[in-house]
């Protein structure tokens, strides 16, 4: 088997959930990422990023915010609505997710004061 014809075996690269304390906005952060390593570089093939808090959103199983590429397209979930997104790379999508869920929580803290 030549170097170019090596099989690309997809594996789960990350699966983590974090429970946020009430003082942090409450809810759960979920990260699921699949992909493979080629030439010492990680290639992400599938991802699912979610901020879940049923106290904020009762639709979409409590998913307040999410990004994933299920159903053969990259899209964003927000408060029960789904919209396609322009995908550049996984790292940028992860950064956008991190910024957006933190802004949501920041807004919650302002409302509670």
Decide if pLDDT at 113 tops 70.
no
Measured distance CA(10)–CA(85) in Å, rounded:
24
- pLDDT 10s digits, 8-52: 889 999 999 999 999 888 999 999 999 999 888 999 999 999 999
* Banded pLDDT at 5 (limits 50, 70, 90): low
Domain regions of the chain by residue span: 11-112
The pLDDT of residue 6 is: 67
* Stated pTM of the model: 0.87
- pLDDT 10s digits, 93-108: 999 999 999 999 998 7
- pLDDT 10s digits, 74-86: 999 999 999 999 9
Cα 18 to Cα 24, 48, 51, 113: the distances in Å are 11, 14, 10, 25
Nearest to 108 by CA among 51, 61, 59: 51
């Amino acid at each position: 088997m030549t170097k170019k014809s090596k099989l690309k075996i997809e594996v789960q690269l990350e699966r983590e959930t974090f429970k946020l304390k009430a003082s942090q906005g409450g809810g759960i952060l979920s990260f699921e990422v699949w992909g493979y390593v080629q030439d010492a570089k990680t290639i992400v093939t599938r991802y699912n990023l979610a901020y879940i808090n049923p106290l904020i959103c009762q639709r979409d199983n409590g998913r307040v915010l999410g990004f994933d590429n299920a159903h053969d397209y990259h899209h964003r979930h927000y408060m029960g609505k789904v919209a396609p997104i322009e995908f550049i790379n996984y790292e940028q999508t992860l950064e956008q997710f991190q910024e957006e869920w933190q802004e949501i929580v920041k807004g919650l803290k302002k409302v509670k004061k």
